[in-house]
């Protein structure tokens, strides 16, 4: 759809802030995960800095989902350590992840279709007043969040989610994720099955999350979208992190080669970060 | 860093506007109330006996037992389940309550508050136990609700018959019957009052509390509920337990009205209760339904049952009418939904 922008307005874009600057918000070191005899992740390292969008790429079965679920608390790694804001943490459940400020928007969104936008955004975190649901204040807060993210196309925040377009649904799911003082948002295939205009609006939304200072990880098959929004790119190949670095280090050709062979031009990724990623 | 601060573009929906939007949705869902009014007017025109005190007392006492079952069933159906056992649980609970009173206190006389309390508690306990069993099997064993409650329908029916070889038990303290047929000012039977209080409480529970929100959400998208970190199994267990408990309450009112605990007393109420909920606008796929809708649905069924008799339609046509209304209501509802989502 759009060409790769070399110098867009996003301030931190393409920089090498990750390695040189402050401690990344989330650090994975040596994450192993197996399911029975199947090893899904081998010693994966990954940095997710605040205020940057990291694109996680990989072919089917490369371990993208497992890695995401390890961060989100849906799986526990067998070995390895997760650091959040520099401190070692154990993320044993999605509740733990939420408490830290990690929210995940899965590809299927898991929205309740018959419920309206407000009910969906507050599912599991309803605000109460005298023991009853406080609809007014939930409405206010939902409207506030949506307008901050400039999700302004919905007709009413009281309309059922079933009546929304794909892009609007994605926006609601993202708004739901960031409403709770989130610091890191994991987006699983946020633009899959969306049309051109809808994709544009979701990518704009991702840019806005970055502008708000959140760390964002986008898992995507769509390299157009990855190059469009990512400041950093990480590539998984058969459960190993074969490349991780500033987006400027990559082009579409090299990402495809890393995804399919684990190397580019027959050579492994050369940044120091990648070398640790092996076994 | 935590990002999202107050913006001002679409800001909030103004309070009155929000209320309007919510009530609009409510009105849309209650078109069926118009059908109830039309039925009442039609029967009143057709029969001079319809709008009388005798008919009100008769209709309301039929309606209370159906309504209590329907209220419990509303929660179950909103959670995308079904409870086919409510009628049978009503039967076994009432029989068990009467059995306890007849065998535990064979010579109870006077007000007999103690024996009655024990008997009523026994009925509630049996109803609750079946609800817990349903809920456990649905939530933890993962057996589809249709199968679980079809099974407990059989189990409850069988136990009801086993208690007294299939006979009803009428050796209960006479004051039970006094209680069941008492009314306030000649117009408000005590069972109706009790049912009204419970129904209003449950209406608030479904519409205004976290429990209600989770009931609807579980029915709509269990995945969303699980991912939100909500203990879906605990809520399912509570939903089915509520249904069983309300069947126990209904069994007490039926026993008190008829003066006996009968294993067959709820046999017809299954269809009526489920029909009432569905006519009231709840979706069998879960996620949508209101207690007020079920009240109106129950009203339609109760009016049909008694009205048809008053206009001299042979009583066997009652069941036919309820079945036909059920199918029509679901069809109209589907049609409306298709239009609503296409918009």
Q: pLDDT digit string (tens) for B256-309?
A: 999 999 999 888 888 899 999 999 989 888 888 999 999 999 999 999 988 888
CATH code where residue B190 lies? 1.10.3470
Taking the CA of residue B89 and the nearest CA in chain A, the distance in Å comes to 31
Sign of the alpha-carbon torsion through B270, B271, B274, B277? negative
| Residue A84 phi, psi dihedral angles, 5° rounding | -120, 125
Number of domains in chain B: 1
pLDDT band at A66 (very low <50, low <70, confident <90, very high): very high
Say what the pLDDT of residue B19 is. Answer: 62
Is the model's pLDDT at A153 over the cut of 60?
Answer: yes
CA distances from A246 to A12, A69, A155, A160, A251 (A): 11, 23, 39, 40, 11
Determine whether the interchain pair B221/A111 forms a contact, defined as Cβ–Cβ distance below 8 Å.
yes
Question: Does B5 map to a domain?
Answer: no
Asked if B4 reaches chain A (Cβ–Cβ under 8 Å), the answer is: yes
pLDDT band at B98 (very low <50, low <70, confident <90, very high): very high
Q: Which residue of A has its CA nearest to B286?
A: A114
Alpha-carbon distance B198 to A152, whole Å? 42
Residue B87 lies in domain: 10-341
Place A279 in a pLDDT band, splitting at 50, 70 and 90.
Answer: very low
Percent of chain B scoring above 90 in pLDDT: 59
Q: How far apart are the C-alpha atoms of B219 and B102, rounded to whole Å?
A: 42
Quick check: A158 and B25 CB within 8 A?
yes
Residues 20-59 of B with CB under 8 A from A: 21-22, 25
Is the per-residue pLDDT at B20 higher than 70? no
| Confidence tier at A19 by pLDDT (50, 70, 90) | very low
- Residue B329's closest CA among B301, B292, B291? B301
Is B126 within a domain? yes
The count of CB pairs under 8 A between chains A and B is 124
Q: Which of A120, A132, A150 has the CB atom closest to B209's CB atom?
A: A132
What's the token pair of residue B30?
Answer: 């209650």
Is B326 a domain residue?
yes
Coil, strand or helix at A56: strand
CA distance A222 to A191: 8
Q: Considering only CB atoms, which chain A residues are within 8 Å of B228?
A: 123-125
- Token readout for B308 is 């048809």
What is the rounded CA–CA span in Å between residue A104 and residue A203? 16
Tell me the C-alpha distance between A157 and A246, whole Å.
38
How many residues in total does chain A contain?
A: 279
Binned at pLDDT 50, 70 and 90, residue B17 comes out as: low
For the record, the structure tokens of B131 come out as 């609800």
* pTM of the complete model: 0.84
pLDDT of residue B3: 36
What mean pLDDT do residues B114-118 have? 91
CB contact under 8 A, A135 and B18: yes
B330 CB-near residues (< 8 Å, 6+ apart) = B278, B284
Closest CA to B276 of B96, B105, B68: B68
Query: In Å, how far are A3, A79, A133, A182, B230 from A100, measured between CA atoms?
Result: 36, 20, 25, 8, 17
Residue B3 in any domain: the answer is no
- Which chain B residues are closer than 8 Å to A133 by Cβ? 208-210, 213
Q: Give the other-Cβ count within 10 Å of A252's Cβ.
A: 12
- How far CA B266 is from CA of A24, B157, B257, in Å, comes to 65, 10, 13
Q: Show the tokens assigned to A243.
A: 């490349």
The mean predicted confidence, pLDDT, of chain B is 87
Helix spans in B79-221 (H): 86-104, 113-139, 145-163, 174-180, 190-208, 210-220
Best to test chain B binding among A102, A144, A161, A176 (most B CBs inside 10 Å): A144
Average pLDDT over residues A231-253: 92
The residue among B312 and B237 whose pLDDT is bigger is B237
Calpha distance B90→B102 (Å, rounded): 18
Asked if residue B91 is part of any domain, the answer here is yes
Dihedral (CA of B49, B298, B314, B327) sign: positive
Residue B321 lies in a domain: yes
Residues in chain B: 343
Residue A2 has pLDDT above 70, yes or no: no
Q: What phi-psi label fits residue B303: left (phi over 0), alpha (psi between -120 and 50 degrees) or beta?
A: alpha
Q: Please tell me whether the interface predicted TM-score (ipTM) of this complex is above 0.85.
A: no
Q: With an 8 Å Cβ cutoff, are B3 and A178 in contact?
A: yes
| CB atoms near residue A260 (< 10 Å) | 12
pLDDT band at B58 (very low <50, low <70, confident <90, very high): confident
Give first-to-last CA distance, chain B, whole Å.
39
DSSP-H helix ranges across chain A: 17-20, 64-72, 94-100, 117-121, 135-148, 166-178, 196-211, 223-229, 252-261, 272-275
Q: Which residues of B touch A94 (CB under 8 A)?
A: 227, 229
Residues B252-289 as b/e (b if ≥16 CB within 10 A, e otherwise) read bbbbbbbbbbbbebbebbbbbbbbbbbbbbbbbebbbb
Q: Which domains does chain A possess?
A: 21-112+180-278 (3.40.50.300)
Judge whether B98 and B260 are in contact, CB under 8 Å.
yes
Distance from CA of A242 to the nearest CA of B (A): 30
Average of pLDDT values for A71-77?
91
The answer to whether residue B294 is domain-embedded is yes
**Predicted confidence (pLDDT) at residue A217 exceeds the cutoff of 90:** yes
Indicate whether B2 belongs to any domain. Answer: no
């Amino acid at each position: 759809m759009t060409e790769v922008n070399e110098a867009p307005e996003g301030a931190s874009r393409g920089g090498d802030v990750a390695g040189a600057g402050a401690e990344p918000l989330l650090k994975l070191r040596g994450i192993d995960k197996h399911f029975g005899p199947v090893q899904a992740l081998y010693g994966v390292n990954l940095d997710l800095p605040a205020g940057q969008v990291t694109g996680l790429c990989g072919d089917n079965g490369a371990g993208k989902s497992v890695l995401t679920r390890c961060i989100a608390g849906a799986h526990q790694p067998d070995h390895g350590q997760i650091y959040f804001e520099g401190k070692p943490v154990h993320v044993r459940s999605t509740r733990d992840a939420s408490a830290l400020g990690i929210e995940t928007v899965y590809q299927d969104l898991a929205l309740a279709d018959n419920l309206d936008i407000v009910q969906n955004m507050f599912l599991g975190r309803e605000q109460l007043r005298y023991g009853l649901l406080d609809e007014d204040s939930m409405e206010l807060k939902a409207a506030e969040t949506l307008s901050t993210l400039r999700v302004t196309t919905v007709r009413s925040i009281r309309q059922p989610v079933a009546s929304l377009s794909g892009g609007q649904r994605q926006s609601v799911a993202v708004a739901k994720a960031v409403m709770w003082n989130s610091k890191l948002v994991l987006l699983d295939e946020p633009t899959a099955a969306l049309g051109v205009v809808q994709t544009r609006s979701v990518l704009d939304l991702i840019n806005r999350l970055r502008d708000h200072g959140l760390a964002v990880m986008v898992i995507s098959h769509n390299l157009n979208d990855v190059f469009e929004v990512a400041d950093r790119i990480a590539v998984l190949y058969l459960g190993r992190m074969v490349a991780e670095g500033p987006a400027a280090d990559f082009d579409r050709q090299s990402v495809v080669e890393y995804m399919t062979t684990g190397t580019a031009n027959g050579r492994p990724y050369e940044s120091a970060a990648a070398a640790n990623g092996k076994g | 860093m935590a990002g999202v601060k107050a913006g001002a573009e679409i800001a909030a929906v103004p309070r009155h506007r929000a209320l309007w939007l919510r009530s609009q949705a409510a009105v849309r869902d209650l078109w069926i109330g118009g059908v109830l009014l039309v039925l009442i007017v039609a029967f009143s025109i057709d029969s001079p006996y319809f709008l009388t005190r005798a008919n009100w007392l008769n209709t309301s006492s039929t309606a209370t037992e159906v309504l209590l079952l329907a209220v419990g069933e509303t929660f179950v159906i909103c959670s995308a389940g079904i409870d086919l056992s409510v009628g049978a649980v009503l039967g076994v609970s009432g029989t068990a309550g009467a059995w306890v009173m007849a065998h535990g206190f064979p010579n109870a006389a006077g007000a007999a508050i103690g024996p009655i309390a024990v008997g009523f508690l026994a009925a509630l306990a049996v109803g609750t136990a079946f609800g817990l069993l349903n809920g456990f099997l649905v939530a933890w064993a993962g057996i589809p609700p249709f199968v679980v409650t079809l099974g407990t329908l059989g189990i409850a029916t069988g136990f009801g018959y086993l208690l007294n070889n299939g006979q009803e038990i009428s050796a209960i303290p006479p004051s039970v019957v006094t209680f069941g047929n008492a009314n306030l000012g000649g117009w408000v039977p005590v069972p109706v009052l009790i049912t009204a209080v419970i129904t209003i409480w449950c209406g608030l529970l479904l519409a205004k509390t976290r429990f209600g929100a989770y009931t609807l959400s579980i029915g709509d998208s269990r995945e969303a509920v699980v991912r939100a970190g909500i203990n879906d199994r605990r809520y399912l267990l509570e939903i089915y337990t509520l249904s069983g408990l309300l069947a126990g309450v209904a069994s007490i009112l039926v026993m008190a009205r008829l003066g006996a605990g009968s294993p067959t007393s709820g046999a017809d109420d299954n269809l009526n209760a489920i029909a009432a909920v569905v006519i009231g606008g709840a979706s069998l796929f879960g996620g949508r339904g209101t207690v007020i809708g079920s009240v109106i649905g129950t009203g339609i069924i109760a009016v049909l049952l008694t009205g048809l008799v008053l206009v001299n339609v042979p009583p066997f046509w009652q069941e036919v009418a309820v079945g036909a209304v059920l199918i029509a209501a679901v069809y109209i509802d589907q049609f409306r939904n298709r239009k609503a989502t296409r918009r």
